[in-house]
Amino acid sequence: MEAPHVNDRHTPAMDERTPDAAETAAFEARLRAWLPEEAGVHEWRRLVRVTEDEVLVSKFEEGFSQRLFVLLDRVPELFDEATVVARYERLAASLPADTPRVDAWHAAMHEACREAGERLGIEDVRLAEIRTGIDSVRAILEAVIWSEPAVRDDYTPRSGEVEAYREGLATLADDRDLFTRYYGTFENRAVRNHCPGAAFARKMLAQGWRACTGTPPPA
């Protein structure tokens, strides 16, 4: 972890040297007090990185990202567009006509996750890490595809839905994404909680749009 440059009002000459362990610990202690009191974050967060402009925290322990990437590499079928769309269409055809398309996609992805786990012998506690990502993408799809088309509806994405997807993409700046949560500003630094699987989630979101709407994700 990069040592923080503490705000000048606490240590006037910090820009001229590297903070020591005591200063780093003091900064983290102040941050941990700020998170519940000012940001409303009462769950544990690990301090990942501190720069001049940003504090990055995570709810996952160190090493989680690496383990998650290894796990996701074992289930490529969850990120292959043709496979995802085919699975969605197959399941949608068997569901009641009034089933929302996003619900059908969600069920298809959970089914794919379960089957991959059984085939590869992946423990359910590990699969839960993937299911959490699927559930997060579902929430975004529901917000974007707000007209709630059903699986048998004659449906074309509305202009407002296309724009909602584009507006979500427009939030991408400075390596941010739809899965990075902004908590506020602490000692002149933006505090963000980042999803370690964001790159995979973005791909899953694009493929979910394709499956549910039958159209390419808006650029």
Residue 151 lies in a domain: yes
Encoding tokens for residue 105? 């996609």
Residues paired with 57 in a beta bridge: 47, 193
Encoding tokens for residue 13? 């000459």
Residue 80 lies in a domain: yes
pLDDT at 16 over 50: no
Task: Label residue 172 by pLDDT band (50, 70, 90).
Answer: very low
- The runs of H, that is alpha helices, within 8-123 are 21-38, 64-73, 81-94, 101-120
Residue 84 lies in a domain: yes
Burial of 217 (0-12, 13-18, 19+ CB in 10 A): middle
**Chain centre to alpha carbon of residue 105:** 17
**Chain centre to alpha carbon of residue 58:** 12
* Average pLDDT in the chain: 83
- By the 8 A CB rule, do 98 and 150 touch? yes
Of 15-29, 79-93, 117-131, 197-211, minimum mean pLDDT range: 15-29
Task: Label residue 15 by pLDDT band (50, 70, 90).
Answer: very low
Task: Label residue 173 by pLDDT band (50, 70, 90).
Answer: very low
Residue 22 lies in a domain: no
Nearest to 81 by CA among 219, 172, 216: 216
Q: Measured between alpha carbons, how far is 92 from 99 in angstroms, rounded to an integer?
A: 8
pTM of the model: 0.69
Provide, rounded to the nearest whole percent, the portion of the chain with pLDDT above 70: 82
Residue 24 lies in a domain: no
The values of phi and psi at residue 139, to 5°, are -60, -40
Residue 55 lies in a domain: no
Residue 140 lies in a domain: yes
Q: Are strands 54-58 and 189-194 parallel, antiparallel or unpaired?
A: parallel
Residue 97 lies in a domain: yes
Full residue range of the structural domain in which residue 132 is found: 64-179+195-213
Q: Measured between alpha carbons, how far is 111 from 109 in angstroms, rounded to an integer?
A: 5
What CA–CA distances, in Å, run from 104 to 12, 62, 75, 96, 148? 57, 35, 20, 10, 12
Number of domains in the chain: 1
